[in-house]
């Protein structure tokens, strides 16, 4: 029965990675579309759209509450692992697992994310989805660079090949994008949209490895409950930063007036806002979860993979043009993604053949499962 543990742990690892990958994929593909939908039909509040990208953070309280109840029910062994009193009687489990270092790190990264939200919202307000997506796809190159510098990410031939395929895929899309320029938009506005979107790509390429670095430096066993706490704090501070912008710009007072003037009607206006908040949480929760399960580089690769799908959806829903360059980009992106996964598959098989590796793993309480040096409650 001792051999069942690693097998079970591996299955749980894969299930959690697949789940977070699906969440991230949905958020990556759908978020730019619902953001652009807001602007196409008359929305103009940049700080409001920035706020909505992380404004759905209270929903994270639900799984955190469930996790706390489960810790209370697991008995003295789990309570001891969670920080019991050690005085001969069980102490209540900690309601908050996060220690000061991780709290500070997530707060700082949250503020950076709020700034990145504004850059991205600004770009989406001025550029077609197809154009803004191709610029955002370049964040993979920045993620790879910062991952190498901050967390000493090791590159195999397959992951390097994946980066080199996915990044040019975005560049190929840049050809003939002038034909997609929104009608009546000045050269200055169009260029400003490019600059702001590029700034969002660079900053988010820095944020992903920074999250992974804080996991490594936190000196805590990273459980998935702790990852959820991290996500909650990150989104709270990102939302707080955007709230300041909304207050200065008087966006709260403008929402009822904008709703009445919205092209799709007042009810659909609020539905668009709600879906922006939902898709924003999908994106951020998925990204942080994938970093926990795999790495910041894999998170960046998955984001880049989904952007060509966003291109296709923009063509379907917004009637944007689909030039041959977009087809080439889609093919390069799929090729790069397959290359990365094939390399990971070979690496996993090689690691599984080495029995030494599993023997050297740190032992955790039976209520936790190790995952890439982390654990899942």
Structural domain includes residue 5: no
Structural domain includes residue 361: no
What pLDDT was estimated at residue 352? 64
Give dist(CA 327, CA 245) in Å, integer: 39
What pLDDT was estimated at residue 166? 67
Structural domain includes residue 360: no
* pLDDT, one tens digit for every residue, the chain (377 residues): 333 444 456 677 788 889 999 999 999 889 999 999 999 999 999 999 999 999 999 989 998 988 888 878 775 544 444 444 444 444 567 778 899 999 999 999 999 999 999 999 999 998 888 778 878 877 877 888 888 888 887 777 777 777 777 667 666 655 555 556 676 677 788 888 888 998 999 999 999 999 999 999 988 888 888 989 999 999 999 999 999 999 999 999 999 999 999 999 999 999 999 999 999 999 988 888 888 888 887 888 888 778 777 877 887 888 776 667 767 777 777 787 777 777 767 766 776 666 454 333 333 333 333 334 344 34
Per DSSP bridges, beta strands 369-371 and 374-376 are antiparallel
Q: pLDDT averaged over the chain?
A: 79
User: Could you list the residue range(s) of the whole structural domain that residue 283 is in?
Assistant: 18-65+95-350
Q: Name the nearest CA neighbour of 180 among 320, 35, 40.
A: 320
Tokens 């560049």 locate to: 171
Which own/partner contact pairs does 59-68 have at CB distance under 8 Å and 24+ positions apart?
59/281, 60/228, 60/231, 60/232, 60/235, 60/281, 60/285, 61/232, 63/228, 64/225, 64/228, 64/229, 64/232, 67/224, 67/225, 67/228, 67/377, 68/93, 68/95, 68/225
What pLDDT was estimated at residue 252? 93
The radius of gyration computed from the CA coordinates of the chain, to the nearest angstrom, equals: 22
Structural domain includes residue 242: yes
What pLDDT was estimated at residue 363? 35
Structural domain includes residue 202: yes
Q: Name the nearest CA neighbour of 56 among 289, 242, 244, 274.
A: 274
What pLDDT was estimated at residue 170? 60
What pLDDT was estimated at residue 220? 87
Do the beta carbons of residue 208 and residue 287 sit within 8 Å?
yes
- Which class for 10: exposed (0-12), middle (13-18), buried (19 or more C-beta within 10 A)? middle
What pLDDT was estimated at residue 137? 75
Count of beta carbons in the 10 Å neighbourhood of residue 131: 26
Structural domain includes residue 364: no
Structural domain includes residue 369: no
Residues 6+ apart with CB under 8 A from 63: 228
Q: What is the pTM of this model?
A: 0.79
What pLDDT was estimated at residue 273? 95
- By three-state DSSP, how is residue 42 classified? coil
Structural domain includes residue 151: yes
Residues 6+ apart with CB under 8 A from 296: 143, 146, 147, 151, 153, 208, 209, 211, 212
Give dist(CA 295, CA 343) in Å, integer: 14
What pLDDT was estimated at residue 370? 39
Structure tokens at 343: 């390399």
Q: Total domain count for the chain?
A: 1
Q: Name the nearest CA neighbour of 227 among 67, 15, 44, 25.
A: 67
What pLDDT was estimated at residue 5? 42
374 pairs with which residues across the strands?
Answer: 371
Tokens 């699906």 locate to: 22
């Amino acid at each position: 029965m001792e051999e069942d543990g690693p097998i079970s742990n591996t299955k749980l690892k894969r299930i959690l990675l697949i789940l977070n990958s699906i969440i991230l994929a949905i958020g990556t593909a759908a978020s730019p579309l619902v953001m652009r939908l807001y602007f196409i039909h008359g929305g103009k509040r940049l700080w409001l759209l920035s706020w909505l990208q992380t404004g759905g953070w209270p929903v994270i309280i639900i799984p955190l509450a469930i996790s706390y109840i489960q810790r209370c029910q697991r008995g003295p062994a789990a309570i001891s692992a969670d920080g019991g009193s050690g005085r001969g009687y069980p102490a209540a489990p900690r309601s908050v697992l996060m220690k000061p270092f991780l709290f500070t790190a997530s707060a700082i990264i949250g503020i950076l994310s709020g700034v990145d939200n504004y850059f991205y919202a600004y770009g989406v307000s001025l550029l077609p989805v197809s154009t803004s997506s191709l610029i955002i796809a370049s964040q993979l190159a920045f993620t790879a660079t910062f991952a190498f510098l901050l967390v000493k990410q090791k590159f195999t031939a397959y992951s390097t090949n994946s980066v080199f395929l996915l990044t040019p895929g975005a560049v190929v899309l840049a050809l003939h994008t002038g034909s997609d320029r929104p009608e009546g938009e000045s050269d200055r506005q169009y260029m400003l949209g490019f600059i702001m979107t590029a700034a969002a790509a660079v900053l988010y390429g820095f944020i992903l490895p920074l999250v992974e670095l804080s996991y490594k430096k936190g000196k805590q066993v990273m459980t998935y409950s702790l990852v959820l706490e991290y996500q909650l704090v990150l989104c709270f501070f990102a939302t707080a930063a955007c709230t300041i912008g909304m207050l200065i710009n008087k966006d709260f007072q403008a929402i009822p007036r904008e709703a009445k003037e919205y092209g799709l009607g007042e009810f659909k206006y609020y539905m668009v806002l709600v879906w922006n908040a939902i898709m924003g949480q999908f994106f951020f929760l998925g990204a942080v979860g994938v970093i926990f399960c795999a790495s910041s580089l894999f998170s960046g690769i998955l984001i880049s993979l989904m952007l060509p799908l966003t291109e296709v959806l923009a063509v379907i829903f917004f009637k944007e043009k689909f030039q041959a360059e977009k087809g080439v980009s889609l093919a390069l992106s799929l090729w790069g993604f397959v290359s990365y996964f094939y390399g990971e598959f070979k690496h996993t098989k090689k690691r599984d053949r080495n029995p030494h590796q599993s023997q050297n793993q740190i032992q955790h309480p039976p209520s936790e499962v190790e995952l890439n040096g982390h654990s899942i409650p």
